[in-house]
Amino acid sequence: MRKKIVAGNWKMNLNLQEGVALANELKDALAAEKPNCDVIICTPFIHLATVAGITEGTVIGLGAENCADKEKGAYTGEVSAAQVKSTGAQYVILGHSERRAYYGETAEILKEKVNLALANGLKVIFCIGEVLEEREANKQNEVVGAQLADSLFDLTEEQLSNVILAYEPVWAIGTGKTATAEQAQDMHAFIRGCIAGNFGEKAAEEISILYGGSCKPSNAKEIFSKPDVDGGLIGGAALKCADFKGIIDAWN
């Protein structure tokens, strides 16, 4: 059985004290009521080491939102996969559309990052998704298929077992405009088919595919009810404990 997951992506929000308070609140909420899915929070680099002390020994997994495409050395301002790992984090988000669009992260760069993250023992939450014009031109499958192929298809099946996919249609991120449950299901089934084509049926059956984009407590249950949707990658609604918990509870 593949894993059901709700992961939060804090993006560039919350100072250290606010992040610590949110992590503590979530820890208490999930200690009081055990979640029916895996829960992960992905935070800015500056939060990781401190939040790791809070999440350690709890059901909450911890991840970074990015890592460098170089192993180590003179890359001022970058943070390596090994450095992320050393904080106690277990995951890293790679390929988020905001990184692709605003920081010029190409498929080649992402391939390097994925390889380094996996080599350093991190699990990768790899994001894919089309922009509005591509959806309107009915090119979403072509775009997402290429994103998968260009950054992931050289991995071994063993490496892929440490990858979680997140389908995030760019037009749904932070816009309040969620994909319909049917649109999510169609794309997730397509993605699973691409994984089956390159890695085989077993790998496709085992990989978790999350939906992201304006996911809220009010729509999570319907989206998660689709057979190929294994959970969510949550932005805005991950910044308030009650909202994030409301989405986690969609699995109850």
**In whole angstroms, how close is the CB of 35 to ligand 13P at the nearest point?**
19
Comparing every residue's Cβ against ligand 13P, the nearest one is 235
Residue 168 bears catalytic tag: yes
Judged by beta carbon, residue 109 or residue 128, the one nearer ligand 13P is 128
From CA 81, how far away is CA 207, in angstroms rounded?
A: 22
Among residues 5, 9, 23, 167, the one that binds ligand 13P under rule CB under 6 A: 9
From CA 177, how far away is CA 184, in angstroms rounded?
A: 13
Judged by beta carbon, residue 39 or residue 203, the one nearer ligand 13P is 39
CA distances from 34 to 69, 70, 245 (A): 36, 38, 11
Decide: is 173 part of the binding site for ligand 13P (CB under 6 A): yes
Do residues 40 and 58 touch, judged by C-beta distance below 8 A?
no
From CA 127, how far away is CA 64, in angstroms rounded?
A: 13
Among residues 114, 152, 207, 215, the one that binds ligand 13P under rule CB under 6 A: 215
Among residues 213, 230, 231, 241, the one that binds ligand 13P under rule CB under 6 A: 213
Q: Which is it for the CA torsion 240, 244, 247, 252, positive or negative?
A: negative
Task: Give the bridge partners for 158, in sequence order.
Answer: none
Residues 48-107 touching ligand 13P, rule: CB under 6 A, are: 96
Judged by beta carbon, residue 199 or residue 211, the one nearer ligand 13P is 211
**106: amino acid identity, one letter:** T
**In whole angstroms, how close is the CB of 71 to ligand 13P at the nearest point?**
26
Give start and end residues of each alpha helix (H) in 127-216: 132-136, 140-152, 157-160, 181-199, 201-206
Among residues 14, 30, 234, 248, the one that binds ligand 13P under rule CB under 6 A: 234
Decide: is 174 part of the binding site for ligand 13P (CB under 6 A): yes
Decide: is 40 part of the binding site for ligand 13P (CB under 6 A): no
Residues 6+ apart with CB under 8 A from 165: 125, 126, 127, 128, 148, 191, 195, 207, 208, 209, 210
Binding stretches for ligand 13P (CB under 6 A): 9, 96, 168, 173-174, 212-215, 233-237
Active site positions, annotated: 96, 168
